Structure 1
Amino acid sequence: MNQDKKIAVLLPCYNEALTVEKVIKDYKEAFPTADIYVYDNNSTDGTGEIAKKAGAIVKREYAQGKGNVIRAMFKDIDADCYIMADGDDTNPPVPEMADMILRGEAEMVIGDRLSSTYFTENKRPFHNTGNRMVRGLINTLFDVNVTDIMTGSRAFSYTFVKTFPVLSKGFEIETEMTIHAAAHNLRMVEVPTNYRDRPEGSESKLNTYSDGAKVLGTIARLFKEYKPMAFFGLFALIFLIISICLFVPVFNEYFATGLVPRFPTLIVAGFLLIIGLLLFMCGLILEVIVKKNRQIFELFYIRTKR
């Protein structure tokens, strides 16, 4: 590891008094020259005080939610390599992740739990199902091949951190990071990491259903924003098919009898056809805007590159 490069370990924490000290110790041993940052997200169990005693640089983020914490971290901290981990002691440090960033092999390195011990260690079966569903959706919609979409164990380059617009407020932030990298052709590499479930007495802040719904909403929103032609084109096709299905029987009746007895059906078919064409045009116009935004991003990305 290059000793001249600055490494920052980022630990967003909310009520992790039981584990935060051990996490800080483990990451200090793995990255002895790194600065350890703990951002306390309104903890009520003394997490911040424990982290400070353990030698971390502690700051407080008052806007609740992991996405808000990551936004503050990315804004405040300058480093050549950023290591992000959860404060719940589920992600052991992997020095190889920092090495890959510092060698310029990737803009984001993802700690892949799902290829190792996640499905045997994790005691929440709906989380396993949710991970598979989210992975399948993103890989299909954005044409990538990422195994672990929602892991909190990641490493980033300076360029990624300073060009990533954090829009999510909560746990959907990891999904947003992955889609951002995929949409802007930023190199992602996965490194298998071990996963261990939370120790007894430590409670997860994730809500399987509400947070899962937010993640799916984030995927839909980003698919619309990054691939508007595909998004609006899909709905345009649906309206077009329904319109044709309604119109064909009326058309056949007209040729057979010369009469149009079902005017309401014909009118509805016409309206659906118009809606489909409008959706197609929206997708076409937005696709041009997205392409222009990508060109602007590339210029900004080049200027930010160290």
Structure 2
Amino acid sequence: MPINHSNSSIAVLLPCYNEEVTIGKVVRDFRKALPSSVIYVYDNNSTDRTAEIAESEGAIVRKEPRQGKGNVIRAMFEDIDADVYVMADGDDTYPADDAPDMVAKILDGYDMVIGDRLSSTYFQENKRPFHNFGNRLVRGSINHLFDAQVTDIMTGYRAFSFTFVKTYPVLSRGFEVETEMTIHSLNNNLRLFEMPIQYRDRPEGSVSKLDTVGDGIKVMSTIFRMIREYKPLPFFGGLGLLIGIIGLILCGGVTYEFAKTGLVLHFPTLIGAVMLVITGLLLIIAGIILDVMAKNDRKTFIIDANKFAYIERCNSN
């Protein structure tokens, strides 16, 4: 149920690390786009004047000593209470002008609004080809595995409902947190809305904190881990089926030799084949058990989400 628009509180969340070149403009832009919002800048061990500039522009500045964007977002979600949350980066790559429309969608009942860069100017503005390739790879993998059609999996420009923020478990420590958010939403069948935005590359003098190879490995490992946790039956069942088929093929060869000669000529092959078949069966059984547990986790999540939605409605009334 959508909450009361007129009494809604809005929090703008800006995780920052060494963004003194852009943070002042970002705060001013969001203040202009969302005049009634409270803007929070979480400084993640910056060594420049990021915190000082943000505070001078009227933002509420807080420190997060645990390095990494995931750690900052975890702190933000724990500390701040609001009806609607808008999260962006402090590097001035996301236009604040789109924020009111994103807020409106959350107030209409969506759990998360995704600022879709890839449908507009991202591939023209972003000068890092490996980043573009990584976005396509991650998007294709997740959409295939979760039977979804999300265009921008890894965008940092998002809006959230109170219920989403208070029920979402932030496990990642770094930039892979956006991918984790999307997978979490798809797995739990949350209400998502994608809104195309005009992405722009960093201005002159602003330096990206992304490590193309290192962060790419972290993102792919996050996808691997979450598929294992959220889709255990396809993951373990498929692996078990593959190993079991290899074992059966090897068993078939030994059986054929025995039928022709009356002798088992390759005992090591027979033992290994039987072990492969047993391993395959165990993996399939493990997949079935973990799938039941994953479904129970989704039921628990729905119950918790309903509780927070009830609390939100009571507070808004």
Aligned to 2:278, what secondary structure does the other structure show?
helix
What does 1:120-269 align with in structure 2 at a 5 Å threshold?
A: 120-269=124-273
**Partner Cα distance (2:245, 2:210) in 1:** 40
Aligned match of 2:277: 273
Q: Could you tell which deviates more after superposition, 242-251 or 128-137?
A: 242-251
Aligned match of 2:69: 66
Aligned match of 2:80: 77
Shift of 1:3: 3.6
Unaligned runs of 5+ in 2: 313-317
Aligned to 1:88, what secondary structure does the other structure show?
coil
Greater than 6 Å deviation, 4+ residue runs: none
Aligned match of 2:34: 31
* TM-score under structure 2 length normalisation: 0.95
Q: What do the CA deviations read for 1:21-74 (whole angstroms, capped 9, x no partner)?
A: 000011111101000000000000110011000110000000000000000000
| Kept in 2: contact 1:246–1:265 (CA 8 A) | yes
Aligned length: 305
What does 1:88-99 align with in structure 2 at a 5 Å threshold?
A: 88-93=91-96, 94=98, 95-99=100-104
Q: What do the CA deviations read for 1:91-127 (whole angstroms, capped 9, x no partner)?
A: 00212100000121x1000000000000000000000
Q: What one-letter code is carried by the residue in structure 1 that aligns with 2:22?
A: T
Aligned to 1:230, what secondary structure does the other structure show?
helix
**Partner Cα distance (1:3, 1:38) in 2:** 25
Aligned match of 1:101: 106
Aligned to 1:91, what secondary structure does the other structure show?
coil
| Kept in 2: contact 1:3–1:33 (CA 8 A) | no
**Partner Cα distance (1:2, 1:189) in 2:** 18
Aligned to 2:70, what secondary structure does the other structure show?
helix
Aligned match of 1:115: 119
**Partner Cα distance (1:140, 1:2) in 2:** 36
Aligned match of 2:25: 22
Q: What do the CA deviations read for 1:122-167 (whole angstroms, capped 9, x no partner)?
A: 0000000000000011101112110000000000000000000000
| Kept in 2: contact 1:149–1:174 (CA 8 A) | yes
Q: What one-letter code is carried by the residue in structure 2 that aligns with 1:111?
A: G
